[in-house]
Amino acid sequence: MLRYTEDHEWINLEGDTATVGISPHAIEQLGDIVFVELPEAGNTVARGDAVAVFESVKAASDIYSPASGEITEVNETMLDDLSSITPDRATESWLFKIKIEDSSELDELMDEDAYKSMIA
Partner 1 sequence: MESSRTPLHDFHLAHGARMVPFAGWDMPVQYADGIRAEHLATRASTGLFDVSHMAQVWLTGPGAGAMLERLTPTDTGAIAEGRVRYSLFLNDAGGVLDDLMIARHNDILQLVVNAGRADHDIGLLRASLDSSVTMDVRSDLALLALQGPASPQVLARLGGDLDGFTFMQIRNMTLAGTECVVTRSGYTGEDGFEISMPASHAPDLASAIAADADVTLAGLGARDTLRLEAGLPLWGHELDESITPIAAGLRFALSKRRREAGDFPGAATIMAEWNNGTARILTGLLPQGGRPVRDGAELALDGKTVGAVTSGGFAPTLDAPAALGFVDAGLAAPGTNLMAVVRGRETPVVTAALPLVPHRYVRN
Task: Count the site residues for partner 1 by CB under 8 A.
Answer: 12
Q: 49 or 55, CB closer to partner 1?
A: 55
Q: Tell whether residue 42 is a contact of partner 1 (CB under 8 A).
A: no
Q: How many CB atoms lie within 10 A of CB 5?
A: 23
| Cα-Cα-Cα-Cα dihedral sign, residues 4, 86, 71, 99 | positive
Question: Which neighbouring-strand residues pair with 56?
Answer: 33
Query: CA-to-CA distance for 60 and 56, rounded, in angstroms?
Result: 6
For residue 61, the minimal CB distance to partner 1 (Å) is: 12
Between CA 76 and CA 58 the distance in angstroms is 23
Single out the segment in contact with partner 1 by CB under 8 A; choices: 14-22, 33-41, 65-73, 97-105: 33-41
Instruction: Indicate whether 35 belongs to the interface with partner 1 (CB under 8 A).
Output: yes
Interface residue with partner 1, options 6, 14, 16, 32 (CB under 8 A): 32
120 touches partner 1 by CB under 8 A: no
Residue closer to partner 1 by CB (options 28, 112) is 28
**Non-local CB neighbours of 1 within 8 Å, separated by 6+ positions:** 12, 13, 106
Query: What are the residues binding partner 1 (CB under 8 A)?
Result: 31-32, 34-35, 37, 53, 55-60
